[in-house]
Amino acid sequence: MTDAGKMRALRDDADLEALAGLMASGFGSSLEDSRKWIEKNGRGGFRLLDLEGGATGDGGLAACVGILPMGQFFGGRPVKSAGIAAVTVAPAHRGRGHALSLMQQTLVELRGQGCAVSSLFPATWHLYRRCGYELAGARNKIDVAVHRMPRGNRDRPARSEHPGDDEAVRACYRELARERPGWIDRSDVFWMRIRTFRDEPLHRIVIPGEDGGIDGYAYFRLVDRPDGFGFYDLSLSDVQAATEAATERLFALIHDHASLAGEVRFFGGCDHPLIARLPDRYYKLTLMDHWMLRILDVEAALATRGWAPGRAGEVHLRVNDPLFEQNSGDWRLIVEGGQAQVQRGGTGALRLDIRGLAGLYTGHLDVAVLAGLGLLEGDETQAALFESLCAGRPCSMVDAF
């Protein structure tokens, strides 16, 4: 670990102002917008890197990071995670290793809090790979001309979301998200992000279920179009449907904007259910960003995720983790009935850098790619078995942070 300053929590209003100034200089935002972003995400979720002033007088706040507690679904089960956001270094202090030091100290804290993994959307791959992160999934934007959307039907009622719908909406999302590897088990902060845009509430439509729950919902805003093809676009921060009837009602909701709307956009992976139900290839899918994952606790990450019930086997791993000695060494992974036992020992037949383990864990990178990167070597049969155990649906994400 580099020794480039000490990390601490945000303490008071003076820290808030200093942090807002640092974020404004790093991200090109206004001071007011930076203050609002900090307060919305919670002061307790930020860590600051202070430098001691020396003869050059270059002490003070050098860098910051935001931490977002969350879970991530893998194999149908939530794994305790933490999202990393708002990593920035003051312009006068860049190029001195402060971001690396801050990230390493943050990862030590997160592991101590019981986080098994951590995820982030990288501004640069180089820094986060040095911290043990590797590419793990993608977030895509999906655009469809509104008049090309299926007309659906209006047999089911749709209405504006009520405050009392909150738990039912969350349950609807969670039941669907658990089957999509990498999707977030959302905290209140993530739901706030989904339901608002720059402090303005979105249009929130729900499809009530016959059992009193919520079978589907859509959160969207109207965005002006500059090209004259329609007066606005529909931008959906989230849209989910648990039943065919709810899907048809959401299609009708979207198509009912066809007289004025140009395109509808939403986020997810290439396997999004709405794509599969389009009558033809009328959509455009754009990669917004890759996200990266870091295994913080090898034992917890392997033991708490779910595994495909139809797959079983025993893999002997030898892990190399330069930051966490607790992760390094030999591990036996025994998978059966959708669950895993993780034990110390074994032959170490499959040798993985911690980054290689992250890439395989989500199924985003395969054995051949990781071997080419120098992150995996060893027994080919063991490598193929581990790859098959981790393989599943494309690893994607709706949320951005």
Parallel, antiparallel or unpaired: strands 159-160 and 313-320: unpaired
pTM recorded for the entire structure: 0.93
Q: What is the dihedral of CA 147, 151, 152, 157, to 10 degrees?
A: 90
Q: What is the pLDDT of residue 199?
A: 81
Q: Which of 232, 286, 282 is nearest to 262 (CA)?
A: 232
Q: Which residues of 6-45 are buried (b: 16+ CB within 10 A; e: fewer)?
A: ebeebeeeebbebbbebbbbbeeeeeebbbebbeebbeeb
User: Quick check: 213 and 164 in contact, CB under 8 A?
Assistant: no
Going by the DSSP 8-state scheme, the letter that residue 147 receives in this structure is G
Q: What is the pLDDT of residue 2?
A: 46
**Tokens matching residue 120:** 């982030």
Which domains can be identified in the chain, with CATH numbers? 6-132 (3.40.630.30), 140-290 (3.40.630.30), 297-390 (3.30.1050.10)
| Nearest-angstrom CA–CA distance, 134 and 295 | 9
User: Quick check: 365 and 152 in contact, CB under 8 A?
Assistant: no
**Tokens matching residue 124:** 């640069």
Q: What is the mean pLDDT of each run of 10 residues along the chain (401 residues)?
A: 74 95 94 94 95 60 96 97 97 94 98 98 97 97 94 95 97 95 96 91 95 96 82 96 96 95 92 87 93 98 95 97 98 97 98 98 96 97 96 90 94
Going by the DSSP 8-state scheme, the letter that residue 202 receives in this structure is P
Q: What is the pLDDT of residue 53?
A: 58
User: Quick check: 311 and 388 in contact, CB under 8 A?
Assistant: yes
| Nearest-angstrom CA–CA distance, 293 and 115 | 12
DSSP E strands in 37-104: the ranges are 46-51, 60-74, 77-89
Report the chain's terminal Cα–Cα distance, integer Å.
26
Q: What is the pLDDT of residue 277?
A: 87
Span 60-89, pLDDT tens digits: 899 999 999 999 999 999 999 999 999 999
Residues 6+ away with beta carbon under 8 Å from 114: 80, 297, 300
**Tokens matching residue 77:** 């089960």
CA 102 to each of CA 44, 51, 156, 332, 356: distance values in angstroms, whole numbers, following the listed order: 16, 11, 51, 32, 23
Residues 6+ away with beta carbon under 8 Å from 368: none
| Nearest-angstrom CA–CA distance, 147 and 135 | 36
215 three-class SS: strand
**Tokens matching residue 276:** 């599969």
User: Quick check: 375 and 134 in contact, CB under 8 A?
Assistant: yes
Work out the number of other CB atoms within 10 angstroms of the CB of residue 224: 8
Residues 6+ away with beta carbon under 8 Å from 133: 118, 120, 122, 292, 293, 294, 355, 358
Q: Which region holds residue 56: left if phi is over 0, alpha if psi is between -120 and 50, else beta?
A: alpha
Span 251-296, pLDDT tens digits: 999 999 999 999 999 999 888 888 888 888 889 999 999 999 999 9
**Residue that is written with structure tokens 């098994």 in the block:** 116
Q: What are the backbone dihedrals phi and psi of residue 41, each rounded to the nearest 5 degrees, phi first?
A: -85, -15
What is the chain's percent helix, strand, coil content, to nearest 5?
30, 35, 35
Q: What is the pLDDT of residue 55?
A: 40
Going by the DSSP 8-state scheme, the letter that residue 55 receives in this structure is T
